[in-house]
């Protein structure tokens, strides 16, 4: 279905957000953008697929989501945590996840809170993600914040 409409089990149509929206938006980072990536549009099945992509690409012992955007992804990634092995010599590795990375500040903040050995993953990176973070989807070229066109 298009225009953000989805059919519920009872046959009713309900309005759902679109994943990509054009317009003028203030991002969590404080920057303005001419588009929004609205991961609330993703279904549980979408999150499970993303988790499978990340979970088979990265090895980790624990997963932590950046509030609020990374919480659904962190929950979907729980089955991919390695089982604790008391005989393993390497340190426990925490995966920090978020839905969208613009500046990387939220991921860096979460890394400071978690401490220890961390790797990261994001579904979408608008620009260059921190070197320790793997973006599933990366926008090409540097992200340019929205600016009003001069007339």
SS3 call for 112: helix
pLDDT digits (tens, 9 = 90+) for 4-24: 555 555 667 767 789 999 999
Q: Are 76 and 100 in contact (CB under 8 A)?
A: no
CA atoms within 13 A on the CB side of 31: 17
Is there a contact between 58 and 95 (Cβ–Cβ < 8 Å)? Answer: yes
pTM over 0.85: no
Domains of the chain listed by start with CATH number: 43-138 (3.40.50.2020)
pLDDT band at 37 (very low <50, low <70, confident <90, very high): very high
| Tens-place pLDDT, residues 51-71 | 999 999 999 999 999 999 999
For 71-124, write each residue's pLDDT tens digit. 999 999 999 998 655 555 667 899 999 999 999 999 999 999 999 899 999 999
Nearest to 62 by CA among 88, 80, 86, 87: 80
> Quick one: 37 exposed, middle or buried, by C-beta within 10 A (0-12, 13-18, 19+)?
buried
């Amino acid at each position: 279905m298009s225009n953000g409409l989805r059919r519920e089990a009872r046959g009713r149509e309900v309005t759902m957000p679109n994943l990509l929206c054009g317009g003028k938006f203030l991002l969590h980072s404080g920057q303005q953008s001419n588009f929004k990536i609205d991961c609330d549009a993703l279904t549980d099945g979408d999150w499970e697929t993303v988790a499978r992509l990340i979970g088979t690409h990265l090895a980790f012992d624990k997963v932590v989501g950046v509030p609020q955007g990374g919480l659904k992804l962190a929950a979907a990634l729980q089955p991919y945590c390695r089982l604790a092995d008391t005989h393993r010599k390497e340190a426990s590795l925490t995966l920090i996840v978020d839905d969208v990375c613009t500046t990387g500040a939220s991921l860096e903040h979460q890394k400071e809170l978690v401490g220890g050995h961390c790797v990261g993953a994001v579904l979408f990176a608008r620009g260059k993600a921190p070197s320790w973070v793997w973006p599933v989807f990366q926008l090409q070229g540097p992200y340019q914040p929205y600016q009003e066109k001069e007339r």
